[in-house]
A and B are shown apart, each in its own frame.
Chain A
Amino acid sequence: DQQVKQNSPSLSVQEGRISILNCDYTNSMFDYFLWYKKYPAEGPTFLISISSIKDKNEDGRFTVFLNKSAKHLSLHIVPSQPGDSAVYFCAASWKGGSEKLVFGKGTKLTVNP
């Protein structure tokens, strides 16, 4: 049972345009969401997070939006740069439960020059 779903295995965008990566979750107990970025043969690095008490969090070119009613979050990258090409993982956790991060399968983003 996959609690965190990234339904698009890959996404390709032009440099300078917006990249939108989507993530859906099924567990309504999740209250903290994170995005990680991973280059080949490297460990994932933390990108941005959002608590369930918010619906938006922004950090430079990266913005995460959370729609709790739809159990959906998205990562927007504006403007996209070739160096953003990587696999992006969505992750979720909750307090009071097992408190373990649950990851999606990832979306491979390619930003074309």
Chain B
Amino acid sequence: SQTIHQWPATLVQPVGSPLSLECTVEGTSNPNLYWYRQAAGRGLQLLFYSVGIGQISSEVPQNLSASRPQDRQFILSSKKLLLSDSGFYLCAWSLLQLNEKLFFGSGTQLSVL
């Protein structure tokens, strides 16, 4: 069966520090991969999605970037965190067409202080 791993579960970082969140999927090949953020009172916002290695699409302008160095690995990064980057970050995967029934990881609660 397919599983998705996301870490760390919680992270407290000072403003201006770098960020690296990692997500890996097991049990499937060539998944579509996604990074979402849930900010307080704002629902789930799609940040990035990827349909293959090295292929990244950004949905909103922001202080973050994403990379997909391997088929089942998706990384969310920032060179310098802002206070507004705080939130609950979710990695997700799907097969078939884009966004058909997403499967989410357990999330990372990021607090930028």
List residues of chain A with CB under 8 Å of any chain B CB. Answer: 6, 32, 34, 36, 41-46, 49, 89, 91, 93, 95, 99-101, 103-106
| B99 and A43 contacting across the interface, CB-CB below 8 Å | no
Q: Which of B43, B99, B103, B107 contacts A100 (CB 8 A)?
A: B99
Give the nearest-CB partner of B94 in chain A: A101
Asked if B101 CB lies within 8 Å of chain A CBs, one says yes
- With beta carbons under 8 angstroms apart, the residue of B44, B45, B59, B99 that contacts A99 is B99
Residue among A32, A45, A49, A106 making CB contact with B43, cutoff 8 Å = A106
Q: Is there contact, CB below 8 Å, between B98 and A99?
A: yes
Q: How far is the CB of B91 from chain A (nearest CB, A)?
A: 8
Contacts of A36 in B (CB 8 A): 104
Q: Is B109 an interface residue when CB atoms closer than 8 A count as contact? A: yes
A89 touching B44 in the complex, CB below 8 Å, given contacts A41-B107, A42-B107, A101-B102 = yes
Whether A100 touches B101, Cβ cut-off 8 Å, given contacts A42-B107, A89-B43, A105-B41, is: no
User: What are 15 pairs between A and B in contact, CB < 8 Å?
Assistant: A41-B9, A41-B107, A43-B6, A43-B90, A43-B107, A45-B104, A49-B101, A91-B44, A93-B98, A100-B49, A100-B99, A103-B43, A103-B45, A105-B41, A105-B43
By size class, the interface of chain B is 20 to 34
Total cross-chain contacts (CB, 8 A):
54
Q: How far is the CB of B57 from chain A (nearest CB, A)?
A: 9
CB neighbours of B25 from chain A (8 A): none
User: Is the Cβ of A42 less than 8 Å from the Cβ of B97?
Assistant: no
Q: How far is the CB of B50 from chain A (nearest CB, A)?
A: 12
- The residue of chain A having its C-beta at the shortest distance from the C-beta of B88 within the complex is A41
Q: How far is the CA of A47 from the CA of B71 in the complex (A)?
A: 27
Please give me the 10 A-B residue pairs with the lowest Cβ-Cβ distance, nearest first: A43-B104, A105-B43, A103-B44, A101-B99, A99-B98, A93-B99, A44-B104, A43-B107, A103-B43, A43-B106
CA distance A41 to B59 in the complex (A): 24
Q: Is there an interface contact between B46 and A101, defined as CB atoms closer than 8 Å?
A: yes
> Which residues of the partner chain A approach B98 to less than 8 Å between Cβ atoms?
93, 99-100
Question: Which among B42, B92, B99 is the interface contact of A105 at CB below 8 angstroms?
Answer: B42
Q: Complex formed: what's the CA distance from A43 to B106 in Å? A: 4
